[in-house]
Structure 1
Amino acid sequence: MRAALKAIAYLNVDIKKSYKVERQFENLSARLRPKPEAYSIWDHMVKSGDYEVPVRVFLPKKGSPRRLLLFFHGGGWVTGSIESYTKMCGYLAGAISAVVVSVDYRLAPESHFPAAPEDCYAVARELFLGKSLLNVDPANITIIGDSAGGNLAAAVSLMARDRGEFLPPRQILIYPAVAADHSSSSPFESIRTNGTDYLLTSKRVADMIDLYKSSDDDYKNPYFAPLEAADLSGQPKTLIISAEYCPLRDEGEFYGKRLEEAGVQVKVFRMKDAFHAYMMLSPRFVHVQKTYELINAFLDE
C-alpha cells in the first residue's frame, strides 16, 4: 500500500491545472456507481445570499434514525461534491443510524473564500433554526466533515458562536485542515514527514489553499484557518480523528489541544496505519469500521 501511495504521489499532478478534469472524473465515476439501495435519497436547495446551495438527504429505509449528521465533504475546497460523496454518505447513514445531510457548497477557484463556509453556515442555520428543510431537534444534530470539510465544520462552529444565532452541540472533524501554512516552514512535523509519499502531498494542500483564498489576508482569518482563532471557547463537544500517515495529522491534533485548553470537551484519536481520505474506502476496511465505532460511541455519550 505504501509503495502504491508513493507512486501516486510521485506523479505530482498540478491541481491548479487539473482541478476541472479531476471534478469531471470524480462525478462521472460516482454516477456510474449504483446508488445505495438501503436509503431514501432526495435533493433540496437552501438559500445562501443570492445563491441556492444543493443538499442531498440520506434517510435509512430501515429503523427510526434519531440523529442527524450535517456533512461537509472534502476535496480541498476545489474538488469533491455531493455526487462524489454519495456512496460514503450512504454508508455513513447506515452505520450511524442517522439522517445524513450532505452540502454541495461552492468550490474554488470559481468561488473564493468565504463562499464555502457561508454556504455551509446557511444550511446549518436552516437546520438548527427549524426552517423548511427538516423538523429535527437541534440537540440531535451533529456537524461533521473530512479534510477541507473538517475545516468547514470547525469554521461553521466558530461562525455560529460569533453570530449568536445557534450553536451545534457536537462536531466531528476527520483529518481536518485547520492551519494556514503547509509549507516547509510549517510548525507541524507531519507536513514534512507525511507530505510527499502518502497520496496527499503538502504541496497539493498549499496549492489548494492558494486557489481557495481571496487574498493573503485570509491566512489570519479563523473562518479560513480555525487555528488562527485567538479564542476557542464556547465550541461544541468535539471528536477529532487524525490519520497516522496524513500530512494534516499534527495540526488536527493540535487543534484538539487548543480546544481542550479553552475548556471544550474533546476527544482526539489517531488512526494507526491510516492515510488521508481513508473514509472513501469501502466499509469493509478496518479503519472505516473503527471510525464508525468511534462516531457511535461519541454520539452515545
Structure 2
Amino acid sequence: MDDLTQIIDPPPSRTRLLLDGVRALRKPKLDGAPLLPKARLVRPAVELSAEGIAAYGRACGFRREQGVPLTYPHVLAFPLHLMLLTRPSFPYPASGMVHLANRIRQHQRLQEGQALRLEVYAARWVAHPKGQALSIATRAYSAGALVWEGDSLYLRRGVADPVGAPWDEALALPSDSLVRTQKWLLPADLGRRFAKVSGDFNPIHTSVIGARLFGFRRAIAHGMWTLGRALAAQQPPGGLERAEVQCEFKLPILLPGQVALWNLPASGPRRAFEVRNGAGDKPHLRGLLSINENLQ
C-alpha cells in the first residue's frame, strides 16, 4: 500500500460530509493549472445488504426479483466522491459541480450479502466546452477480482482554458425512433427521499431555498435517481451477469414534475432510452443499456 491510499473505515457520517461541504464552499483563487488529486480512498469491505438494496429499490422502483440494481454500488461509493471533492486540496468548491455523465460496467453477478472492496480516485481532467470537468473512477472488487466499475464526470462551469483531453463522449442515439413507454409523476419531496438512501444531500435536491441559491426555481431531482428509475423500468428479472450503461444528464427535472421514459422496443442486448419532459420534446437524460455483452 502506498502513502496515497487511505482506508476509510468507518465511513464518514452525514454530519461530517455536510460540514466538509460547508467548509468547501469557498476556495482560494486558483493560480495556474489545477492539480489532479492523488488520493485513492478505499472502503475494504462494504456489504451489499438486503436492507440497503431494498431501500434503494423502493426509492427508484426496482423489484427484488431484478437482483442487485446496476447502479447500487455507486450509492455505496458516493460518500467517497464527496470526500474527494470537499478536500482542502481540491481546487474548486464542491457545491456547484455538475454531474454531466456516468458510465457503469458490471463484470460479474452481484449478490445480496456479498462484500465489495470499493476504491475511488480522481482519474483525469477533461476539457469541456463549458468549463473544467473531472472524471472520478470507482472500482469494486470481490475476492481480488474487478466485478463492477463506474466513471462519473463532474463539471465546474465557467473555468477558462480547461486542461485535459477534450470531451468527445456524447451519446449518439436514434432519438426519432424512440417511443414513450412510461409516465412518472414526481413528488416535491423526491429529492429528500432519495438523499436518505444515496447520501447526496446537496441542497439543490432537498430544499427550495437551497435550489434558488444556485439558480433553480425549485428543487431538482438527482441525476442518479433518474438513471436508477430508468434502469428499474428495463433491468430484467433474475439479476444481471454482465451489463453496461452509459448516460448523459441533460436538462434538470424540477420538483414536483412529470416526466416520461422513451425507448426502443427491447430487441437484442442494446437498449437506447431517454427520460423526457411531459411534452416529450426535451431530454432530461439520455442513455444506452447493454446487457450480457462481452465488455472490453
Q: TM-score, normalised on structure 2? A: 0.26
Normalized per residue, the structure richer in strand is 2
- Between Structure 1 and Structure 2, whose CA radius of gyration is higher? 2
Normalized per residue, the structure richer in helix is 1
